[in-house]
Chains A and B, each alone.
Chain A
């Protein structure tokens, strides 16, 4: 596990250790099965012996029951959809901005000199610290949540995109020019493909970061969403609901990361053919 930044840590959370693909699935399923078994045993024991209120450590079936109840009432989908929508819109906006600025900054020195200082200044500040500012600016509604996700995901994606362009071997450009390439050819047929691996890594980081921070924005002033479900559960000690929503969130994040990795494998077939 070679991490060098906090976003990478978050992405590791969704991706897990690197293993050969065939093994990975089997290992994961086995691990999850073992955990579920242990949890069931622990939960069962707690219910039987009641060392404390079982509500504080619900067994798996209680959690699933709570989720199913919400689903039956038709509420679960509302919350899931709300969270997904915020993540999707926020992440997409962040990605578009980061890619556009990143590609530009990677190629045009002047742009880079202007944007990079701002990025370097803002990067050490945990994005969460800016959430209240977004709320002050845009109000408590969707705009602040989406805007906040855009802001948070922008940084890792911008940095990786700039790096992706910067690391391009200059000789690739020369080779293309000697084959008759003009500037627009260079951009679309050399720079974009060559920067793509890093860009896709950035996207993966962005997805992980989105799911990491969406909860907090849904704790603070939301009326729907998985984060809201979790925080709302505090009022009546609905721990099963809280745990269930957290689990769902994990699942969604895992799926999102999986999607990007599928895309990566497709688009970057040339790195590991056969």
Chain B
């Protein structure tokens, strides 16, 4: 993290502390409504100690991982297929066209009806939410591969399978990884909302609990943990991306 970033974070922390402790002293708002950093840290420590935080984090992550994983595999397979095979594209297109403007969260209650209140509904919901954007993005990445690359390979004697393995996949890989990274971010975005209702575990549930039992510090803590989680995963994925694709900087064709 850059120095300015750290300074900024410290600055925000200072302001937060000043405002919340100041509020304690001056009594502008009910003290419970403006949790201090200390209170948030306390809730964090407590939930870590009694094991509930790790459990909730693990639950959320598991749901995201499985849902996203399934969707990613499907999106990859179908995306590649659709990009290379027009009939498949024509078949999937109508479904996408119909479904895409509808906010995925609008289907959440339906998933609860269809799959009940258990893990299945959350996983299916995450899978549904992330599949379509990833599918379209992956198909687009494959379609974006420079045709001249394919021609060059063909004139060097590449057959169909070679073209896929040695040209299309490597060339489309950066775009595919970006699609996956964003799909994961979308999953994290949505899981909180999905865990507000019909769940008794997970970070979303933990945050909602903060509201039910009027412990705003718990909400803030949950939100911060979520943000941290998202940042870490994103940073990891970005780093992997950069490592894998050093060649992209040096004169990519797309």
Contacts and interface: CB of A to CB of B under 8 A. Distances in A.
Instruction: Indicate whether A and B are direct neighbours in the complex (CB within 8 Å).
Output: yes
Interface of A: 1, 3-6, 9-10, 12-14, 16-17, 27-28, 31-32, 34-36, 38, 56, 116-118, 120-122, 124-126, 128-133, 135-137, 211-216, 219-220, 226-227, 230-231, 233-234, 237, 239, 242-243, 245-247, 249-251, 253-254, 257
Given A36-B98, A136-B33, A215-B106, 20 more contacts: A3-B179, A9-B133, A9-B186, A10-B103, A32-B94, A116-B8, A121-B12, A129-B192, A129-B222, A130-B219, A133-B223, A213-B103, A216-B193, A219-B108, A220-B196, A220-B197, A226-B106, A230-B109, A237-B113, A253-B101
Nearest to B140: A1
B71 interface: no
Given A136-B211, A212-B105, A234-B112, A121 B9 contact: yes
A253 B103 contact: yes
B136 A17 contact: yes
B182 interface: yes
Contacts of B178: 3-4
Interface of B: 5, 7-9, 11-12, 33, 93-98, 100-110, 112-114, 133, 136-137, 140, 178-179, 182, 185-186, 188-190, 192-193, 196-197, 203-204, 207-208, 210-211, 214, 216, 219-220, 222-224, 226-228, 230-231, 234
A136 B113 CA distance: 28
Contacts of A16: 97, 100
Given A132-B208, A136-B211, A117 B11 contact: yes
Say whether chain B's binding surface is mostly helix, strand, loop, or mixed.
helix
A3 B182 CA distance: 8
Contact of A234 (B106, B113, B179): B113
A31 B189 contact: no
Contacts of B5: 117, 120
A5 B203 CA distance: 22
Contact of A121 (B8, B101, B140, B196): B8
Contacts of B207: 129, 132
B193 A128 contact: yes
Contacts of B109: 219, 230-231, 233-234, 242
Contact of B113 (A3, A242, A250): A242
Nearest to A127: B189
- B95, B178, B193, B226 interface centre (most CB from chain A within 10 Å): B193
A36 B99 CA distance: 12
Given A129-B192, A129-B207, A137-B33, A32 B102 contact: no
Contact of A118 (B12, B182, B203, B231): B12
B107 to A, nearest CB: 6
Contacts of B11: 117
A12 B214 CA distance: 37
Contacts of A243: 110
Contacts of B9: 117, 121
- B102, B108, B188, B192 interface centre (most CB from chain A within 10 Å): B102
Contact of B223 (A117, A129, A227, A239): A129
A133 B220 contact: yes
**Lowest 5 A-B CB distances belong to which pairs?**
A117-B8, A125-B227, A250-B102, A132-B211, A31-B97
Contacts of B219: 129-130, 132-133, 136
A231 B106 CA distance: 9
A226 to B, nearest CB: 8
B105 A213 contact: yes
Contacts of B179: 3
A243 B182 CA distance: 27
Contact of B94 (A31, A118, A220): A31
Contact of B106 (A9, A124, A230): A230
Nearest to A29: B97
Contact of B103 (A31, A117, A250): A250
Contacts of A254: 101
Contacts of A124: 227-228, 230-231, 234
Contact of A247 (B102, B108, B113, B216): B102
